[in-house]
Amino acid sequence: MYHHHGIQALDDNEDALKLQLKDVDLEFSWPVGKLKAVLPELGIKSASSPSSCSLETSKAIASLVEELNLADAKLGLASGISAFLWLYTSIHGDKPAKVAVTSELPLGSGLGSSAALCVALSAALLSLSDSSKLDFSHQGWQTFGESELDLVNKWAFEGEKMIHGRPSGIDNTVSTFGNIVKFRSGELTHIKTNMPLKMLVTNTKVGRNTKALVAGVSERAARHGSAMTSVFKAVDSISNEVVGIIQSPVSDDLAITEEEEKLGELMEMNQGLLQCMGVSHSTIETVIKTTLKYKLATKLTGAGGGGCVLTLLPTRILFACAILFHCLISYIVHNLYVLYHPEFLFFFSYFCLMSSKYLK
Amino acid sequence: MTMEVRARAPGKIILAGEHAVVHGSTAVAAAIDLYTYVSLRFPTPHDNEDALKLQLKDVDLEFSWPVGKLKAVLPELGIKSASSPSSCSLETSKAIASLVEELNLADAKLGLASGISAFLWLYTSIHGCANELYNVSNTYSKHEYAASNLVAIFFFVISDKPAKVAVTSELPLGSGLGSSAALCVALSAALLSLSDSSKLDFSHQGWQTFGESELDLVNKWAFEGEKMIHGRPSGIDNTVSTFGTEYDECLWNIVKFRSGELTHIKTNMPLKMLVTNTKVGRNTKALVAGVSERAARHGSAMTSVFKAVDSISNEVVGIIQSPVSDDLAITEEEEKLGELMEMNQGLLQCMGVSHSTIETVIKTTLKYKLATKLTGAGGGGCVLTLLPTRIGGRGMEISFSGFSS
C-alpha cells in the first residue's frame, strides 16, 4: 500500500505554495512571500543536513497552520500539514509549487500513514535537490541508492518528530527501505526471507492519539518499573524469535505450517503483553475473539487503542477453496453485524476488501 | 451413639501470580468465606456396617466400598502412618483408579473421578491403619472421654474401619475458587482429628482450629490429595485453605507464596472483590500443562513473563501491607491495585489461559472503569473485579448475562 506524492513546479504567475490533500478534498495555499517573512530559518538550511525544527520555527509553523482554521473534524491533519511545511521549506526553500497528496493508507490507523507521507515528501523534494542522482529521462518508478535513502530517512524522521513527539523511527525507516526490518535502539537490520507470509489487516476504524498511548506506556513503566522492564524484555525475546522464524529456510509445506504455528503463538503472546502495557481496546478484542473461533492468531499493529489489527493467514487456509473463504468472511460479518452498531459496516467493508485483496 | 466429626475449609481467590507460581514466581492468595464441609460419621456396632461410604450431597450421589475389598485391593493399607504424608505410589494409584472405574460414573459426572480418587487415598492413608486407631482409643481415654461405649465404638472401628463420609460445599466445582483443595483440606482435617497426634478437645462445642504444627500436617496431606487431582499443583490452594481464616470487615488474612514458602500477611486495607463465575468448566491439569509447554517452546520470553508476574505480586503485597489512613490514600492504593490486576490479566493472556467469557466480563467491567482479572487456572472459571470504596453502597447495574456473581 502506497502513499503518492506529486510536486508540480508552478509557472511564474503563481507565487504560492499549494498543498492539495486529494483524499479529503482539501487544498491549502501559502503565499511564498509570507513564508519568507514568517519562517526565520528559510534558506539557511541545507538539504543534505537534516536537523530538528527549532522552537522558533515550530511556533511560526504552528501559527501558519492555525490560520487555516481547520474544521474540528480535520484537526488531526494539523500536525501532518506542519510536517509538510517544515520539510518543504527546509529542503526546497521558498519556491512556489503545487503539492498533491493521495494515500492508500488510512490515517492514524497504525499502518504508518504519517511516516509514509514524510518519506514520500522527503523523497520527492530531495529528488529535485543538487545531490540527487536520479535519471529524469527514465520512465516509471526508480529507487534511490543507499546513501540517498539514508538522507530521505533522516528528513522523514524529522517530519515524524513534528507529528508524533517521540517516535521510534521505525515507521519512517521501514517506509524508506522496505522489506522486513529488525529495529533496536536506532539500529536497523534488513531481513531477507523466503517464507511466504500472508496477513489480513483489519481496520477497527477507531481513531486514537499515538502520542498519548506512547506516553501512557511510559507512565505505567514509571509506576511499575520492575514489572514493565520484564514485559519489555519478553517482547524483545518474542521479536527475536520472529526474526529467527522468518529467516529460517523453509522447504516443504509441513515445515511452513510448523513455522506459521510458532509465529501465530508469538503474535498471541505479543498481544497479551500489549494488553499488559494497556494499549489494547475493546474493538481489537472483538476482532481477536472472532478470529479465535477459526483458530487464527491476531494482534494489534502500531500504537493500539483502536487502529489496525493483523491476523496471520496460514497457507493451509489459502490452499482451501476461495469460495469457502468468502463464506467465512460473510459469516464473520454477520456475527459482528448482529452484535454491533451499524456504523461498524464501514469496518466490515474494509475487512472484506483487504481479505479479497490478499486472496488474489 | 454415633460419633461424628465435622471439618470445614474455605475456598480461595488468587489476587496475583497464578500459573507463574508453578514456575517460581510469587503469588498472593486470600481465603474467602465460602466453605466445603466434610463430616465423618462412624456407625455403632448395631448398624452392621462394613463399608466405607462417600456421600456427595450437592450432586446427590453416594458411593460405597466394602472394607474387605479395600483391604484386598490396596496394597499399602495399614503401612502408612498418619503423621508422615507421602505421595501415592503408582501401584496404589492404579488400584484406586480401578476402584473408581467400577463406579461407572455417568459421563457428566466424570469430573468427580479425581476427587473421589483423592478421597480414597486420603481416607485409607490417614485412617487406614489399625494400630493407629488402637492408639486413638487410648488417647481419648486419656482425654477423659465419658462414654465407655465410645471406646467400644472405637474398638469396632479398629477392626473394620467403615464410615460414612458426607461432603457438601458452597464452592462451585472447578471454578478457580479452590474447591478441590478445600475438599482435601477438610477431609484431611477431619481424619487427622481422629488420629493419635491430634490435640483437639472433643468435649468442646462448636468450631475449633488446629494448632500450627497440626495445620502443617493437614496441609501436607491435603497437598498429596491435590496431586492426585491436579497433577502438578503449586500447593497454594491447599495452603491458603488450611491457614487462611475467614475475613471480617476489617482484617484480611492474605498468603504470599513462592516456591513452597508461604508468608502470612495481615492487612487493614478494606478490599472488596466481586467474584463472577463464568460457568465455563475447564481442565486445570491441561491449562497448567499448556503453560509449561508454551514455556518450553518460548523459554526466554516466558521467563520474562514469569518475572513480570513475580514483580506484580510483590507490588500487590506491598500495597496490601501499606498502612492506610484516609480515603484519599485508600483510593490511590486501590487504583494501583487495579492497574496491577489489569497487567496480570494481560500476562495471563500471554500465557494463553484466558477465555472469551473472561474477556466478556472484563469488557463489561471496563465500561465502569473497574479492573478485572481471572483467578485460578483460567480458561473459564471465576473472575475477580476490584470494587473500589468510592463505589460504596450505591447500587451498580452490572448485568452479566449467563454468569453468576
Grid cell digits, residue A223: 509506576
Q: Assess if residue B254 is contained within a domain.
A: no
Chain B residue with Cα closest to A271: B350
What is the grid cell recorded at B396? 451498580
Angle between the N-to-C axes of helices B212-230 and B284-297, in degrees from 0 to 180, rounded to the nearest 10? 80
Shortest CA gap A34–chain B (Å): 49
Q: In terms of domains, do B209 and B344 share one?
A: no
- B216 and B299 together in one domain: no
A258 touches chain B (CB under 8 A): no
Query: Is residue B70 located within the same domain as residue B127?
Result: yes
Is B318 within a domain?
yes
Q: Looking at the complex, does the CB of residue B246 fall below 8 Å from at least one CB of chain A?
A: no
Residues of chain B contacting residue A234, judged by C-beta atoms under 8 Å apart: 301-302, 304-305, 308, 350
> Which positions ≥6 away from A43 have C-beta within 8 Å?
A93, A94
CB contact under 8 A, A234 and B302: yes
Cβ contacts of A223 on chain B, cutoff 8 Å? 336, 339
Q: How far separated are the first and last CA of chain A, in Å rounded?
A: 15
Nearest to B105 by CA among B116, B96, B113, B93: B113
Q: Phi/psi class of residue B378: alpha, beta or left (left: φ > 0; alpha: ψ in -120 to 50)? A: left
Burial (0-12, 13-18, 19+ Cβ within 10 Å), A13? exposed
Q: Mind listing the pLDDT tens digit for each residue in A217-239?
A: 999 999 999 999 999 999 999 99
Average pLDDT, integer, range A276-305: 92
Q: Considering the domain boundaries, does residue B239 fall inside one?
A: yes
B363 and A CB contact within 8 Å: yes
Give residue B25's region: left, alpha or beta (phi > 0; psi -120 to 50).
beta
**Contact B31/B253 with Cβ under 8 angstroms?**
yes
- pLDDT for B389 equals 81
Whether B117 is in a domain gets the answer yes
Q: Is the residue at B259 inside a domain?
A: no
Backbone angles phi, psi at A116, to 5 degrees: -60, -40
pLDDT the model gives residue A241: 96
Q: Could you tell me where the beta strands, DSSP code E, fall in B74-211?
A: 163-169
Q: Which of A227, A238, A282 lies at the smallest CB-CB distance from B301?
A: A238
Active site residue: A11, A171, A236, A252, which one? A171
Burial class (CB in 10 A: 0-12, 13-18, 19+), A236: middle
Please check the confidence at residue A208 and state whether its pLDDT lies above 90. no
Asked whether residue B132 is domain-assigned, the answer is yes
**Chain B contact for A24 (CB, 8 A cutoff):** no
Q: Is B129 helix (H, G, I), strand (E, B) or coil?
A: coil
Residue B354 is assigned to a structural domain of this protein: yes
Pair (B212, B113) in one structural domain = yes
On whether both B31 and B152 belong to a single domain, the answer is: yes
| pTM of the complete model beyond 0.90 | no
Nearest to B153 by CA among B46, B38, B39, B6: B46
Q: Are residues B117 and B56 part of one domain? A: yes
What average pLDDT values come out for chain B (405 residues) when binned by 10 residues? 81 92 92 88 74 89 87 70 80 87 82 87 73 37 33 32 88 83 93 74 69 86 90 82 62 79 79 86 86 96 98 94 82 93 97 93 91 91 88 46 51
Residues B224 and B345 in one domain: no
> Of B189, B209, B243, which residue is a domain's last?
B243
Residue B139 structural domain = 3-243
Q: How far apart are CA A284 and CA B363, in angstroms?
A: 11
Measured between beta carbons, the chain B residues lying within 8 angstroms of A272 are 346-352, 354
Which three cell numbers, joined as nine digits, stand for B305? 513473563
Residue of A nearest to B313 (CA): A227
Kindly tell me if the per-residue pLDDT of A357 is higher than 60: no
C-alpha cell at B392: 460504596
3-class secondary-structure state, position B395:
coil
Q: What is the pLDDT of residues A68-106, one digit of tens each?
A: 888 887 777 888 999 999 999 888 888 889 999 999 888
Amino acid A330 reads S
Nearest chain B residue (CA) to A291? B356
Q: Whose CA is closest to A167, among A210, A199, A129, A197?
A: A210
d(CA A331, CA B198): 64
H helix or E strand, kind and range, residue B77: none
Q: For Cα atoms B148, B154, B158, give the angle at the middle one, nearest 5 degrees.
A: 150
The total number of structural domains that make up chain B: 2
How distant is the Cα of B380 from the closest Cα of chain A, in angstroms? 14
Please give the C-alpha separations between residue A96 and each of A8, A13, A59, A200, A344, in angstroms, as whole numbers.
9, 10, 22, 42, 42
Does residue B365 share a domain with residue B229? no
* Predicted confidence (pLDDT) at residue A9 exceeds the cutoff of 70: no
Last residue of a domain, one of B206, B228, B243: B243
Of B314, B340, B346, the CB nearest to A272: B346
Chain centroid to Cα A173, Å, comes to 10
Residue type, A342: P
- Cβ contact B143:B168 at 8 Å: no
Q: Which of residues 268-297 of A touch B (CB under 8 A)?
A: 268-278, 280, 282, 285, 289, 292
ipTM of the complex: 0.74
CATH of the domain at B39: 3.30.230.10
Cα–Cα distance between B356 and B343 in angstroms, integer? 18
Residue A126, exposed/middle/buried by CB under 10 A (0-12, 13-18, 19+)? buried
* Contact B335/A at CB under 8 A: no
Banded model confidence at residue A153, pLDDT cuts 50, 70, 90: very high
Cα radius of gyration rounded to whole Å, chain B: 22
Q: How many residue pairs from chains A and B have C-beta atoms closer than 8 A?
A: 109
Q: Which residues of B touch A294 (CB under 8 A)?
A: none
| B280 and B369 part of one domain | yes
Q: How far is A200 from chain B (nearest CA, A)?
A: 21
- Whether B234 and B277 share a structural domain: no
Which of A220, A232, A259, A275 should one mutate to test binding to chain B, selecting the residue with the greatest count of B CBs within 10 A?
Answer: A275
Average pLDDT over residues A149-162: 92
For position B142, what pLDDT does the model report? 32
Chain-chain contact of A230 with B351 (C-beta, under 8 angstroms): no
d(CA B204, CA B187): 20
Q: Which of A254, A112, A256 is nearest to A198 (CA)?
A: A256
CA nearest to B321, candidates B259, B237, B234, B256: B256
At B197 the pLDDT is: 63
Q: Under 8 Å CB-to-CB from B54, ≥6 apart: which residues?
A: B62, B63, B64, B116, B119, B165, B167
Q: Are residues B309 and B220 in the same domain?
A: no
Q: Is B316 on the interface with A (CB under 8 A)?
A: no
Residue found under cell 498429596: B224
* Residue with the larger pLDDT of the pair B195 and A287: A287
Identify the CA nearest to B133 among candidates B156, B113, B117.
Answer: B156
d(CA B381, CA B274): 14
Q: Which residue has the higher pLDDT, A351 or B326?
A: B326
Side-chain-side CA neighbours of residue B395 (13 Å): 2
For the annotated catalytic residues of B, the residue numbers are 237
Nearest to A112 by CA among A184, A177, A187, A196: A177
> Which of B228, B243, B258 corresponds to the end of one domain?
B243
Return the residue matching grid coordinates 473421589.
B116
- Side chain identity at A284, as an amino acid letter? I
The verdict on B307 touching A (C-beta cutoff 8 Å) is yes
Query: Ramachandran region of residue B195, left (φ > 0), alpha (ψ -120 to 50) or beta?
Result: beta
Pairing of strands B3-16, B27-42: antiparallel
Q: What is the CATH number of the domain that holds B360?
A: 3.30.70.890
The answer on B233 and B277 residing in a single domain is no
